[in-house]
Chain A
């Protein structure tokens, strides 16, 4: 945003601007609130999004990385070449890169990190990202070659994940409490249960950070989060948990509210193997019974983009299929009659802790009762949800936001918790994995979205928004969350 501003400003006003800046130097420290505290700081051995929220781009970097708009840009690899058969990726690494402990970054570190992630005893939560790799070869200290078993159109995308960052063998033993990366900030200290402090890395190889110090403060309770922002204990709060308070911040000139998008498709998942939900007509009836806007208004206070399939609406390949499942209780009842099921249908509906699930669940349950489906609501904790609903598949309906980027591929796995098994869809996914031509990939992705919408696998609700509250004088925060991150490298105070 600075660039745009400077470009518009004339030479004289630019001078005046720098003169006024010299008088009152802008602040260089920032306290960022976030709801969850990371369990430890190794993004390569746990799924906890809170780890990436602190470390991604700030402490650790990968070969490629996500920009705020979701595009893939070079990271530690400044350029790459892909062989014609799509099997070999040769990465040219950035020069003069050092880890925070002063050791050099080179191709050996890349090999170490990728080999560690795909090793047999690897504890990487996204081991699937590395599955196609058959070999990582060090060509010279600045060049590394990755060989794949089969062409993989999303390989560069995969390497941008927080789980694929480059770590050093010298510091791997203590990574969980003292993370050593190559990023623009280095880890300073951790007051457990309260905050983590990062300081600027003066020897950063790329564009240096503008802030000298960033403190992440962990405030889990939504009311406490509201109070902390209002009292200006924190100057920004990422993924603000109380959407009902946003209008109040919006009206206050001290603050600004950023409403962006995440990769989270929020769905009412249906157990496709559990009768009578194995009947597509019953699932279609559920889709028509649910009033998306009512859920968005009631559970999210209006924040959230309706979706009609399992795909992020901000993605260029998104197809708007919401019309296939518009709110129509009469049609839903007719469909149930057509399906010949006996009413009422009793079904177990598990709801994990986030408010979109708990509040949304009540609204959806009421809508389903209208058409003769009687959900028995069961509130569960995350650990319980993972064990009984996700792994045990002991559920009829559940509400969940699938926050992984580009995860439509989960529908190709018949063992995935909603147990959708379609040869047609699996065929499309197989083609997609081998396809590297962008136009054809786009076509296949659209086809995939349509298949799951036509099969009414799940009822698609809305894209989870990213709500950020910040001091009005802060610029450069990520508006969208292509991955769970709070990239502080470009953040600065205007005064």
Chain B
């Protein structure tokens, strides 16, 4: 087990190192000078030079890469070019929106998907199953930003139940924030719930056809009992894998929904920073997301090994 963990740890470190180089190079080749962007069309050469000096843009690529990495290792994310505030603070502010939104959406999608998937599996081929499969098919197909705009039209513009977007900040109270995140969370949850419900259903159906379920039925359990007591647990593994994947997607991939609801989340921070060539912010946020994904994968791999003794033997 120790050897397996060490191996995984080394691969984690290598992934991070490779990612840092790729991120840095990708951003280096982007055309566009941050100083010129900040000073606009009337900027004079000496002003540009002064600003480049202030921002440390005069250093060579290698110097900037190493100072970035050394900073990261010490927990220093650097200072944003355009906002001139520490990147760590900016990320912290944005995470306060993105993380609750991701959790909210994930909870919604799980709460919808589990009963729907289980119900569909238990009614395989019957009208209930067909209806749920139809609805989830639609849920996967509908673009979530379109669905979001539709909700804004109905619930914000016509019914006035919710504001059309924005985030009041946690100082305004938990309820106000949850309310502001409700429509975006529903918009994000819809396709995720649809995918999850379908995975749940097919995974359950697979399990239901396994030998141990047949044995349980032979013992005299009803189909529903066998499903609940024996099949469900075993069917959960692929579902949990999907939930893990969805969580990292929701954390970073909510960018379009963040735009529709003008929420100050991580996705929009990246988007804005790329267009303003705030390279330090882009690099650090992307690196953070890579880190989150790699760590989640690491945890999942360890968890697999805990569950499945065959993996511990060391591949």
Contact = CB atoms under 8 A, between A and B. Distances in A.
Contacts of A48: 38, 40, 82
Given A127-B47, A219-B166, A383-B34, 15 more contacts: A46-B38, A47-B39, A128-B42, A177-B84, A193-B93, A219-B165, A224-B152, A232-B160, A233-B165, A233-B166, A383-B33, A383-B37, A383-B275, A386-B32, A386-B40
A40, A126, A192: residue with the most chain B Cβ atoms closer than 10 Å: A192
Contact of A386 (B36, B163, B264): B36
B268 interface: yes
Q: Chain B: interface residue count, which band?
A: 35 or more
Interface in A365-423: 381-384, 386-388, 390-391, 402, 404
A121 B50 contact: yes
Contact of B169 (A120, A194, A387): A194
30 contacts: A39-B38, A39-B82, A40-B84, A40-B85, A47-B40, A47-B43, A48-B82, A122-B50, A123-B39, A177-B84, A191-B167, A191-B264, A193-B97, A193-B269, A194-B166, A218-B262, A221-B259, A221-B260, A224-B259, A227-B164, A230-B157, A230-B164, A231-B152, A381-B275, A383-B30, A383-B37, A383-B276, A384-B32, A386-B41, A387-B33
B261 interface: yes
Interface string A347-370: 000000100000000000000000
Interface string B256-267: 000111111100
Interface residues of A, number: 47
A223 B168 CA distance: 20
Interface in B113-161: 149, 152-153, 156-157, 160
Interface string A205-240: 000000000000111110110011011110000000
A176 interface: yes
Nearest to A39: B82
Contacts of A381: 32, 274-275
A391 B35 CA distance: 12
A37 B276 CA distance: 12
B315 to A, nearest CB: 45
Contacts, number: 163
A39 B275 CA distance: 12
Interface of A: 37, 39-40, 46-48, 120-128, 176-177, 191-195, 217-221, 223-224, 227-228, 230-233, 353, 381-384, 386-388, 390-391, 402, 404
Main SS class of interface, A: loop
Contacts of A47: 38-43
Contact of A231 (B51, B164, B259): B164
A193 B94 contact: yes
B41 A387 contact: no
A400 to B, nearest CB: 9
B47 A122 contact: yes
Contacts of B262: 194, 217-221, 224, 228
Interface string B75-119: 000000011110000100110010000000000000000000000
B211 interface: no
B209 interface: no
Contacts of B167: 191, 193-194
Given A218-B262, A233-B166, A384-B32, A227 B149 contact: yes
A195 B166 contact: yes
B77 to A, nearest CB: 15
A238 to B, nearest CB: 15
A142 to B, nearest CB: 32
A125 B40 contact: yes
A233 B83 contact: no
Given A46-B39, A125-B40, A384-B32, A231 B160 contact: yes
A58 to B, nearest CB: 20
A286 B167 CA distance: 48
B46 interface: yes
Contacts of A124: 47
B31 interface: yes
A40 B82 contact: yes
Contact of A384 (B31, B39, B46): B31
A124 B48 CA distance: 9
A448 B83 CA distance: 39
Given A46-B39, A221-B259, A383-B37, A193 B31 contact: no
Contacts of A391: 33, 36
B66 interface: no
A119 to B, nearest CB: 9
B198 interface: no
Interface string B24-65: 000000111110111111111011001100100000000000
B277 interface: yes
Contacts of B90: 192
